[in-house]
Each structure stands twice: as structure tokens, then as C-alpha cells.
Amino acid sequence: MKGKILTLWAAALLISSVPLWAVGKTESSSGKIKATLITMDSIDEHWLKVRAGAQAKANELGSVELTFNAPPGKVDAAVQLQMVEDAITKKSDIILLAPLNSDALSPGVEKAKKAGIKVIIIDSGVSTSDYDAFFSTDNGAAARTAADTLANQIGGTGKIAIVNAQAGAGTTMTRENDFKDQIAKKYPNITVVGTQYSDGDKTKALNIALDFITANPDLAGFYACNEGSTVGVGNAVNQKGLAGKVKVVGFDWSADTKSLVERGILQASMVQNPYEMGYQGLQAGVDAYNGSALSPKNVDTGVTVATKENVNTIK
């Protein structure tokens, strides 16, 4: 009996020694909120700006330990899904995710939510509503603007080609499909000769664009759906000596795309605000972690049409 009493006393003492903040929390050893940012890759300036925004917010708050992760390339959603699984295993409090594939990443998002983790979706959507907030460009509106811009550049008539990034990613498919729908609806004299996918790789996009030019010597224009595709297409047009003759409208902003606009190779680019996606996204995750209701759930972080006329005002 005496042994049982001592055992119960020791257990009670152990329980009473656990600090109240630890109950139901998964804070790091430093006492900070654990946040994991997972983007599509770690190469494109777009994702580096997302990371910079999230890190700036983490530094500002001082209460967040931010971990960054990304697949080596934009081609394997399974790798990204494993990164989500790892974040769950390591008991992250917040996951900020830019999903490579809307269907493939949905199970990971749902699993994270079931584990009590706050999930903020960045840039591209998932095939589930089981997340806390979604920060993105209105990609449909931006794609329709891109269609109108390219149509205006080629005088409303001619052949155009599309070089997209990832087949299946929510963002890129919206950019492609809404562009096509706008062309079909408003510009009957414009023909889309084809769509190819570069996985956001500049060299692959360049080779795809060269093939389109070879197969269609009367090609009037290109639409490119992300930074890598835009740069690759622009370089192909320049390489063939067709700058200003074959019009190019793209997506995203970087030193490379800015240079293409300045040199008249790229006529326009739909510029998102990835820094704000990371900055506002992490703040939303912290707010949700602290029990605040997030409204609105879907946040448009805006888009600007960059041209030669306003190139020096775009950040």
C-alpha cells in the first residue's frame, strides 16, 4: 500500500510540474510558434519573394520560428506532400503551403487540419475547403487581362501559342483556361495553335517556344503562364530575331522579366504580389493559432500589368 501511495504521489507531482502553456500547444524548444512554409520550388524569384515576406513578418513578430522547405523542382507533388507530412510529424503549429497539384496536396492539407495545425494556402488552390485562409492573385481575372492585352498587341487576329508551367496546378490551369475562354469569347479571329508545359523551367520553355515558332512561321504571339515560362519564351523570341514581331505577354516579375520588358521583347507581364502572400499569410496563420476567426477566408493580393511605360515603378 505504501508503494502505491508513493507512485500516485510521484505521478501527481509530475503532472503538476507541466507548465500550463504546454497543454495543447506544440511550441518549439525556444518557446516560439512553429511555422513551416512550403513553396513549389526554391529557385524562382516569385517563391523567394513569398519567403522574404513570411520571414519579414516572423522577424517583426519575434514569436515565430519559421522553417522553409521546397522540392528541388516543380514536377513531383509527391515530394511536396511528404514535406507536409514531415511538418505534421514535427508538430508545426502553422503550415503555409503553395500546392503543386490541387488534388495531390488535398489529403495532406486535411490531415494537417485534423492534427490541429492551422493551414494557410498560398498562391495556388487545393481541392478541399478544409483550410484556414487562402492568399492569392485572382488568377482568372489576371488571365483574362492577359488575353485582352495580347489580343490588343496583335490587332485582334492571328495565331498564338501558350507555354504553361505545371499541368494540374490550380493556379496555372486557371491562368490557362480563363485565358483560352476569354480569347474564344471575344476574339474569333485569334487561333490558339497549342499549349505545352515547361514545368517552369526556362530552358525547357525556350525549346518549346522554338518548336512553336518553327511549326508556325506566321505565329503572332505567345502567352506564358509563370516566370520561368515567360523568360524562356522571351529568350526564344529574341534568339530568333523576332522581338517586337512576335508579341509576348507573360506572368510574374523578376530581374529577367524586367530586362525583357525594357528591351521590347516582352510586351507585358501580369505581376503578382508574392511578398504580401508570405507576409499576410503568416500573420493570418498566427492570428488563427491565437484563436481569431479569419475573414475573409479568400484574400486577393492584387495584380499589376507591367509594360515598358511603367517598368520602373514595379517592385
Q: How far apart are CA 283 and CA 289, in angstroms?
A: 10
Tens place of pLDDT per residue across the chain (315 aa): 434 333 333 333 332 333 322 223 344 556 899 999 999 988 888 899 999 999 999 999 999 999 999 998 767 899 999 999 999 999 999 999 999 998 999 999 999 999 999 999 999 899 999 999 999 989 999 999 999 999 999 999 999 999 999 887 778 899 999 999 999 999 999 999 999 999 999 999 999 999 999 999 999 999 999 999 999 999 999 999 999 999 999 999 999 999 999 999 999 999 999 999 999 999 999 999 999 999 999 999 989 999 999 998 887
Assigned domain for 7 exists:
no
129 and 143 together in one domain: no
- For residue 89, report the phi and psi dihedrals to the nearest 5 degrees: -60, -40
Give me the CATH number covering residue 133. Answer: 3.40.50.2300
pTM of the predicted model as reported, rounded to 2 decimal places:
0.71
152 and 263 together in one domain: yes
Select from 50, 228, 225 the least CA-distant residue to 135. Answer: 50
Q: What is the DSSP letter of 142?
A: H
pLDDT at 31: 87
Q: How far apart are CA 302 and CA 245, in angstroms?
A: 30
Dihedral of alpha carbons 112, 117, 122, 126, sign: positive
34 and 121 together in one domain: yes
Range of the domain at 184: 139-271
